[in-house]
Amino acid sequence: MKANRIAAAVAAMMLVSAPAAMAASFGLPAASAAPAASTGGDAVAMQEGLVKQYAESAGYINAAQAELAAAFGFKDRAAELQAAATALQGGATLDKDAIKKNRELTDKASAEIDAKIAEGADLNDEGRKHYIASLTPFTKGVSSAAKLPAEANTFSDAAQAQIKSASLTEKMSVTSKLSAGTYLAKEIPGFSKNTLDSFKKIVTYAQDKGIPVPKEATTLL
Q: What confidence tens digit (pLDDT) does each residue in 136-156 have?
A: 999 999 999 999 999 999 999
pLDDT of 25 strictly over 50: no
Tell whether 55 and 163 lie within a shared domain.
yes
Residue 192 lies in a domain: yes
Name the residue among 151, 152, 134 with its Cα closest to residue 62. Answer: 134
Tell whether 18 and 103 lie within a shared domain.
no
DSSP letter at 30 equals -
Give the largest CA-CA distance in the chain: 112
Predicted pLDDT at 22: 35
To 10 degrees, the CA torsion angle through 135, 85, 76, 204?
20
Tell whether 143 and 193 lie within a shared domain.
yes
pLDDT of 173 strictly over 50: yes
Rounded to whole angstroms, the Cα distance separating 171 from 38 reads 10
Residue 197 lies in a domain: yes
Tell whether 21 and 89 lie within a shared domain.
no
Tell whether 26 and 59 lie within a shared domain.
no
Q: Read out DSSP for 82-131?
A: HHHHHHHHTT----HHHHHHHHHHHHHHHHHHHHHHHTT----HHHHHHH
Tell whether 99 and 24 lie within a shared domain.
no
Tell whether 135 and 154 lie within a shared domain.
yes
Predicted pLDDT at 67: 98
Q: What percent of the chain has pLDDT over 70?
A: 81
Tell whether 135 and 211 lie within a shared domain.
yes
**What's the domain count of the chain?**
2
pLDDT of 36 strictly over 80: no
Tell whether 60 and 128 lie within a shared domain.
yes
Predicted pLDDT at 81: 98
Residue 146 lies in a domain: yes
Q: Cα separations (Å) of 137 from 18, 56, 64, 67?
A: 70, 11, 5, 10
**Mean of the pLDDT values across residues 14-26?**
39
Tell whether 134 and 156 lie within a shared domain.
yes
Tell whether 65 and 16 lie within a shared domain.
no
Residue 89 lies in a domain: yes
Return mean pLDDT, the chain. 85
Q: What confidence tens digit (pLDDT) does each residue in 207-219 have?
A: 999 999 999 998 8
Q: Read out DSSP for 58-73?
A: HHHHHHHHHHHHHHTT
Instruction: Show the domain range for 20.
Output: 1-31
Rounded to whole angstroms, the Cα distance separating 215 from 221 reads 11
- Higher-pLDDT residue of 3, 82: 82
Residue 37 lies in a domain: no
Residue 162 lies in a domain: yes
Q: How confident is the model at residue 220 (pLDDT cuts 50, 70, 90)?
A: confident
Tell whether 135 and 51 lie within a shared domain.
yes
